[in-house]
Amino acid sequence: MNKVPKMRIKDLDFFYGDFHCLHEVCLKFDANQVTALIGPSGCGKSTLLRCLNRMNDLISTSRVQGEILLDDQNIYGPDVDVVTLRRHIGMVFQKPNPFPKSIFENVAYGLRVNGVKDKSYIQERVEKSLQEAALWDEVKDRIHESALGLSGGQQQRLCIARAMAVEPAVLLMDEPASALDPIATQKIEELIHKLKETYTIVIVTHNMQQAARVSDVTAFFYLGELIEVDQTKKIFTRPSSQKTSDYITGRFG
């Protein structure tokens, strides 16, 4: 199967005030692939992830140069509506952050914000998203109870369902399993594997084994630079760059 880039980053530079924290990053994310961004703390991987759906816009001192294309449209273009953009590029955070609402309303939230009124459609999307997130069987009998009563792992899968309800093309995940126990982590990883059939996934993780397990492509960042990007199996068996090797084998610094 030919790989089609869903998103492309072209010569991206990013600044927090005077701090130049991403340097001329060029990277593409193929459709239906999981790309893992790895690197030590402060390397810019989370900043890059947040650039992908313009979450950094919320930081007033931040500044972006270069382009990020979703299909062929520059997401930093003047006509882009950020709310619409985030419908196409969903995000799941490190800590599960369900709204203090019912399970149903959490998943329906994105649709309602986007002006969907059709109740049967909302019903259908909520059920489908919960099924896709492998949560439906566990919550179908208490769908109108508070989401805060779910376990951490369930809450995280709920957040994934919430992100998927609006049918995004790309799913960004920032350390989605770091706050979870091994069993819940395994469920999330299984889920990621299944979700890539439908979505393009970009995941930031500090867990090297997790990056190795879930991703097709791995990109290694260091001090704001993309050092190496390649097929995950190559990165973890014979990386080209000594820096990559030093990092993944724990010999850094």
Residues of the shown chain interacting with another protein in the complex, contacts defined by CB under 8 A: 208-209, 212, 235-239, 244-245, 248-251
DSSP code per residue over 26-39: EEEEETT-EEEEE-
| Least distance in angstroms from the C-beta of 218 to another protein | 11
User: In terms of CB distance, is 158 or 211 closer to another protein?
Assistant: 211
Nearer to another protein, 119 or 238 (CB): 238
Using the minimum distance from each CB to another protein, give the nearer residue, 201 or 248.
Answer: 248
Q: Which residues pair with 34 in a beta bridge?
A: 201
Q: Which residue has the tokens 């193929």?
A: 30
Both tokens assigned to 221: 């960042």
Tokens of 238: 């014979």
Longest dimension (CA), the chain: 56
Residues 69-99 as b or e (16 or more Cβ within 10 Å = b): bbeeeebbeeeeeeeebbbbbbbbbbebebe
Tokens of 249: 């084998």
Q: How far is the CB of 75 from another protein (least distance, A)?
A: 34
State which residue, 29 or 236, has the beta carbon closest to another protein.
Answer: 236
- Please report, in angstroms and rounded to a whole number, the separation of the first and last CA atoms in the chain: 40
Residue closer to another protein by CB (options 114, 240) is: 240
**Cα Rg for the chain, rounded, in angstroms?**
18
Chain centroid offset of residue 8 CA: 15
The CB-of-219 to another protein minimum distance in angstroms stands at 16
Q: Output the smallest distance, CB 232 to another protein, in A.
A: 11
- Spatial strand order of the sheet with 5-16 comes to 19-30, 5-16, 62-70, 73-74
Both tokens assigned to 3: 């790989």
CB of 40 to another protein, least distance (A): 13
Q: How far is the CB of 183 from another protein (least distance, A)?
A: 19
Nearer to another protein, 88 or 206 (CB): 206
